[in-house]
Structure 1
Amino acid sequence: MKGVGFLKEIIFIFDYICPYCYLMLPEIERLYAEHMIKVNWIPTEIYPETPLEGTDLKTFLGVRKAEKAHKLIREQAKSKNLVFYLPKLIYNTRRARLLTAYAVNKVPIEEILHAFYNSVFIYNENIGAWQVLQKICMQLGLSYEDFFRQLEQQKLDFIIKGWEEILNRYPIEVVPTIACGENILAEGVCSYEELVKMINE
């Protein structure tokens, strides 16, 4: 859709560890493919306190809640033709967010999103681990060494700061959150039809 004037812009606020954001990915991609909608993708961290090695999902959520969520998400993923395997751990996404900041002007955002979501929900990899980030760099055709160098030199901080300024506009309680202008349109999973209705109101 290059060169096309967009009718409206929405903000999609997400975290790579959130399966509900993963479920919404096809809907958002369809939205900007079929409508003149620009999507501003803003990654956040819903569990910034998570250790880099990850934390056990069932311990974190509770066994019953984790199993209930797994069943629901698995059914929704199947209906969307998404491969989904629930990871045993909740991963820290801080480094993934930094790699996104590095990659965002070099690689189409869709490729970045799919690389991370595949890593988490298909291969159950810890995207807080350096070796996994190196692997994702290779998949995206990016220089891991240059990423690490820019990280050390704090050259990515201004992108993170810009994202934080956008996030601070909204009282975000859950992800995904979809916003337009100053208003939150939706929180959590919603259907494509609901999305279309929201953006046309």
Structure 2
Amino acid sequence: MALKIVMFSDYICPFCYVGFETMRRLKPEFDFQIEWRGFQIHPDWPAEGIPADKLRGAGDGATRQALWKRISGMAEAVGFSMKPPTVFTNSRAALAATEFARESGRDEALEERIYRAYFNDGENIGDAGVVARLAGEAGLEEGEVADAIRSPKYELRLKNNSLAAHQRGVSSVPTFFIGEFPLVGAQSLDAMRAILKRATERFAS
């Protein structure tokens, strides 16, 4: 039986992108099933986005540069690249689209495309039209995704994700639950490999 992992994450979180790619890289090495659960960390941010240099509390230029040097290094260690976003935006449309994609098993493909669009291509994933186009590139039907983003059905799922996160004590992302064991924050490839190895051995015994 596969090890069950739940990952609470948000598209606008760079460490979630690192965690997402880390788990994808480790999939061939371990028998696990991962369930991605969208959890908005800034539902107050507008869909049109806030220019990165206008966001209050983002720190000064030197602080942001140092942070992104660290994040870029983490990404490169996993085997991909990322850049700081040009706007900070609301992720609701992207998360709703992902809930729809999960029904056809295309959620991982869509997640990869959305992360890459936000952290490499400078796209505003708060724009429902942009999200629908990205979903089309991931193999989904754009019109169906556009309808899903507006649907109360997927809005309810996002609320349920948030409720589940709060019930489990999740206050930041990424947060992984490996079985019932919580793990907060993006890990290096080697650290996550060691964690999964121990969890697999414990699960099998």
TM-score by length of 2: 0.84
Tell me whether 143-152 or 62-71 shows the greater mean CA deviation: 143-152
8 Å contact kept, 2:101–2:110: yes
Structure 2: which amino acid aligns with 1:94? R
Q: Can you list the C-alpha shifts for 1:139-196, whole angstroms capped at 9, x where unaligned?
A: 1232232233344442324432442343123222321111134431x21121233223
1:122 maps to which of 120, 123, 136: 120
8 Å contact kept, 2:10–2:41: yes
Match of 1:76 in 2: 74
Partners of 1:74 and 1:152 lie apart in 2 by 34
Q: Secondary structure at the match of 2:8?
A: strand
Q: Secondary structure at the match of 2:33?
A: strand
Q: Can you list the C-alpha shifts for 1:13-62, whole angstroms capped at 9, x where unaligned?
A: 11111111111223211333211111111111111111111113343302
Tell me whether 166-175 or 45-54 shows the greater mean CA deviation: 166-175
Matches within 5 A, 1:173-192: 173-184=171-182, 186-192=183-189
User: CA 1:75 to 1:182, structure 2 compared with 1: closer, same or farther past 3 Å?
Assistant: closer
Task: Confirm or deny that 1:48 pairs with 2:43.
Answer: yes
Match of 1:57 in 2: 52
> Where does the alignment leave 5 or more consecutive residues of structure 1 unmatched?
none
Tell me whether 157-166 or 125-134 shows the greater mean CA deviation: 157-166
Structure 2: which amino acid aligns with 1:170? R
User: CA 1:74 to 1:143, structure 2 compared with 1: closer, same or farther past 3 Å?
Assistant: same
Structure 1: which amino acid aligns with 2:173? V
Tell me whether 109-118 or 152-161 shows the greater mean CA deviation: 152-161
Match of 2:203 in 1: none
Match of 1:29 in 2: 24
Structure 1: which amino acid aligns with 2:10? D
Partners of 2:133 and 2:122 lie apart in 1 by 14
User: CA 1:173 to 1:150, structure 2 compared with 1: closer, same or farther past 3 Å?
Assistant: closer
Partners of 2:76 and 2:190 lie apart in 1 by 18
Partners of 1:86 and 1:129 lie apart in 2 by 18
User: CA 1:77 to 1:191, structure 2 compared with 1: closer, same or farther past 3 Å?
Assistant: closer
> Where does the alignment leave 5 or more consecutive residues of structure 2 unmatched?
200-205
Tell me by how many angstroms 1:70 deviates: 1.3
Tell me the number of residue pairs that the alignment of Structure 1 and Structure 2 aligns. 195
Structure 2: which amino acid aligns with 1:92? N
Percent of paired sites with the same residue? 24
8 Å contact kept, 1:11–1:41: yes
Partners of 2:148 and 2:17 lie apart in 1 by 28
Match of 2:99 in 1: 101
